[in-house]
Amino acid sequence: MYRVFIIEDEETIARGIQKQMESWSLEAKCVQDFRSVMEEFQDYQPHLVLLDISLPFYNGYYWCQEIRKISKVPVIFLSSASENMNIVMAIQMGGDDFIAKPFDYTVMTAKIQAVLRRAYDYTMQPSALEHRGAVLNTQDATLLYEGKKIDLTRNEYRILQTLLEQKGRIVSRERLMEKLWESDSFVDENTLSVNVNRLRKKLEQEGLDHFITTKVGMGYLIEKKGEGK
């Protein structure tokens, strides 16, 4: 599920966008503290940012520049000031698109989906996912740790890939089963447990203890700060 980070100080608009995103099966979060935009951005790790120009403390141009220092995530500017100069400025500062207020939610959603398709469906999927020195190569489905290749079954690979893509977030058992179904592996609750336990044992045999954490009644998690475990 794609995550959209909404940096908009008009609460009615922000909540309206969030509701619209969720109705289209996108995860969305509104910024809480306009002095700590980058901290919230890094914690949330969004796939796309919706960014108003006029904001408290610092404007959207400033935050876009800050985001561009550490990320290539798509940024779409929102503004009621839709003069050509503002659009040019938004693009020059690193924005990917511009939506003028007032906007139609359907048109906004279509633009967001188009940007997400361009950014992720074709070119931006990461070729490797890393945690605690273990590297999962998404091009050939191999796991390497300390120079050694760890053999994974197709289901084990899909489980590990999903957990690493959502590192720091709990992934429900239902979501993991959906991912396995997408690869034509029709699994039930017991089969999922067997696959997770087998994957854990393989990781532990190579010295990767406590790599996957179980959250009882919620799902599984690879913790961001797991390096210290």
- Strand-pair category, 128-131 with 213-215: unpaired
In order along its 229 residues, the chain shows pLDDT tens digits of 789 999 998 999 999 999 999 888 889 999 999 999 999 999 888 999 998 988 899 888 889 989 988 888 899 988 876 666 667 777 777 788 888 888 888 888 888 888 888 777 654 455 678 899 899 887 677 899 988 889 888 889 989 999 998 889 999 988 888 877 765 556 678 888 999 999 999 999 999 999 999 999 899 999 986 444 4
Six token digits for residue 121? 């469906």
What integer pLDDT is reported at residue 126 of this predicted model?
Answer: 56
Six token digits for residue 104? 């139609």
What integer pLDDT is reported at residue 206 of this predicted model?
Answer: 92
**DSSP labels for 97-143?**
EEEESS--HHHHHHHHHHHHIIIIISS---SEEEETTEEEETTTTEE
Residue that has been written with the tokens 């700590």 in this structure: 36
Return all residues near 147 (Cβ < 8 A) that are at least 6 apart.
Answer: none
Is the alpha carbon torsion for 214, 216, 221, 227 positive or negative? negative
What integer pLDDT is reported at residue 188 of this predicted model?
Answer: 76
What integer pLDDT is reported at residue 129 of this predicted model?
Answer: 84
Q: pTM to 2 decimals?
A: 0.53
- What does the radius of gyration of the chain's CA atoms come to, in whole angstroms? 20
Neighbour count for residue 188 (Cβ, 10 Å): 8
What integer pLDDT is reported at residue 182 of this predicted model?
Answer: 64
